[in-house]
């Protein structure tokens, strides 16, 4: 059987003027039965549309902070580095895939970016802008394949059906997060402090996103493997 071709959003090193990739994104897709390909950062719209039409799914990876201008806000001092080139390219890919109902999986920034493009907003910096109870450490130190906090899986959601658990231990490395969830997204998991940790779009074949990092612990955490497999199955 033909393996699905998955377009992976590149990581952008602005200082080195280069594109790169964490092996876990590729390996997680490959081990789940897909063929990962890193997408180029800059292409004319016509060429990008032609290229995207050849893929069976897209993975929206982690990376820089999302430009607050995309959700009609001013960048505050606590906002980190942004990549306008990546934002433009990723928005174009998302719009094309959403229009054609091509499966997409978002990881970390991927959840935040999906949320913004669909009408939601973000906390630009959790430590200074959000005071949840209890205090949850969302930005871990290495090694990144260990559990640092738990999330509550919403009963009846696709993620609950897939994992068949009500609570899940996750890794975590982010300082931005969903503030207002987009109208067309439904939450699938929350951190104990109330932050949205996973969401999906009900009227699309497969449009899921998680705030944690399955690409960093899928070799040791079976639930991360299941997420990759579910994505590839829909592709």
Tell me the per-residue pLDDT of 116-136, one tens digit each, with 9 for 90 and over.
999 999 999 999 999 888 889
Task: Report yes or no on whether pTM surpasses 0.95.
Answer: yes
Would you please indicate which residues are annotated as catalytic (active-site) residues? 108, 213, 215
All structural domains of the chain, each given as residue ranges with its CATH number in brackets, are: 5-234 (3.40.50.880)
Per-residue pLDDT band for 177 (boundaries 50, 70, 90) equals very high
How far, in Å, are 13, 178, 199, 223 from residue 158 at the CA level?
A: 34, 20, 10, 13
CA dist., res. 230 & res. 185, Å (int): 18
pLDDT in tens, 26-79: 999 999 999 999 999 999 889 999 999 999 999 999 999 999 999 999 999 999
What does the pLDDT read at residue 140?
96
């Amino acid at each position: 059987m033909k393996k699905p071709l998955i377009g992976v959003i590149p990581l952008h090193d602005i200082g080195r003027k280069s594109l790169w990739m964490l092996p876990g994104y590729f390996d997680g897709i490959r081990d789940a039965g897909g063929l990962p390909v890193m997408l180029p950062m800059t292409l004319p719209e016509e060429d990008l549309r032609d290229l995207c039409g050849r893929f069976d799914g897209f993975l929206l990876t982690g990376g820089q902070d999302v430009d607050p201008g995309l959700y009609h806000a001013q960048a505050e001092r606590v906002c980190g580095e942004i990549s306008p080139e990546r934002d433009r390219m990723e928005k174009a890919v998302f719009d094309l895939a959403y229009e054609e109902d091509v499966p997409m999986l978002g990881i970390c920034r991927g959840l935040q970016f999906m949320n913004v493009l669909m009408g939601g907003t973000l906390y630009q910096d959790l430590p200074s802008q959000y005071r949840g109870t209890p205090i949850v450490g969302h930005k871990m130190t290495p090694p990144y394949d260990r559990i640092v906090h738990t999330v509550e899986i919403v009963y009846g959601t696709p993620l609950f059906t897939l994992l068949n658990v009500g609570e899940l231990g996750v890794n975590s490395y982010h300082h931005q997060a969903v503030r207002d969830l987009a109208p067309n997204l439904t939450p699938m998991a929350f951190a104990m402090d109330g932050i949205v940790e996973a969401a999906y779009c009900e009227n699309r074949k497969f449009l899921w996103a998680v705030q944690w990092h399955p690409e960093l612990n899928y070799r040791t955490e079976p639930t991360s493997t299941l997420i990759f497999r579910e994505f590839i199955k829909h592709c």
